[in-house]
Each structure stands twice: as C-alpha cells, then as structure tokens.
Amino acid sequence: MKSKLFIGLVAVLLLGSLTVQADTDQTPKGNNALRKLGRGFANVLFGVIEVPNQITKADSDLGGAAIPYGVGKGFVRWIGRELVGVYEIATFAIPFPGGYKPVMKPEFPNEDYEP
C-alpha cells in the first residue's frame, strides 16, 4: 500500500514538473524589500568576487601591466560592496533610494564577471 502511494506521488511530481517553465535570462521585474534584502546579503557574502573580476578586466582591457590597477580597484569595489550590503540589509524595509533601487551598479557582484 505504501509503495503504491509513494510511486503515485513520484509520478504526479514528475508529470507536474514537465509543465514548469523558468525564464532565467531576464531579471525579475520590479524592486521590492525582499529583493533589496537578498541583494544586501549577496553583496556581503560575494563582494570579494570584485577582486578577481577587476583583475581580469584590467588584464583584458589594458594588458598585463595593469594587473596592480585591477587589484586596487577590486579591493576598493569589494569594500564598497560590503558597506552597501550592510546598508541594504539594515534598511531593507525602507523604500530608499526611490522604490528599492540598487545603490551600486551592477546590482549583484557576479553580473559584471568576465572569465
């Protein structure tokens, strides 16, 4: 009896998942408090991505001699992301700036990454 119920449940879940579609190429429409909170946590946890990202950008844009510039810029952006992340976590319920818009561009640290 239990095995038939389990098999039926698995079949329903598998068949139900066939109709689910996800459009991950587009960013969610509209900013809200929960998005601001998530953005804050992403900036705090993954802000360090700015260092290697800026190094690779400096290397591809200006050549290998600009790697120290990329390191410096990466550290400055990393600290900026950390501070902005703490700010967004602390003020996620307040619709400032203008409708929960991001303080720092790009909105998330991994959006600007170039491997």
Q: Which pLDDT tens digit goes with each residue over 13-50? A: 666 666 655 555 555 567 899 999 999 999 999 999 99
> What pTM does this model have?
0.69
For the stretch 54-94, pLDDT in tens is 999 898 888 888 889 999 999 999 999 999 999 999 999 99
Cα separation, 39 vs 102, in Å, equals: 8
Confidence of residue 6 (pLDDT cuts 50, 70, 90): confident
SS (H, E, C) the chain: CHHHHHHHHHHHHHHHHCCCCCCCCCCCCCCCHHHHHHHHHHHHHHHHHHHHHHHHHHHHHHCHHHHHHHHHHHHHHHHHHHHHHHHHHHCCCCCCCCCCCCCCCCCCHHHHCCC
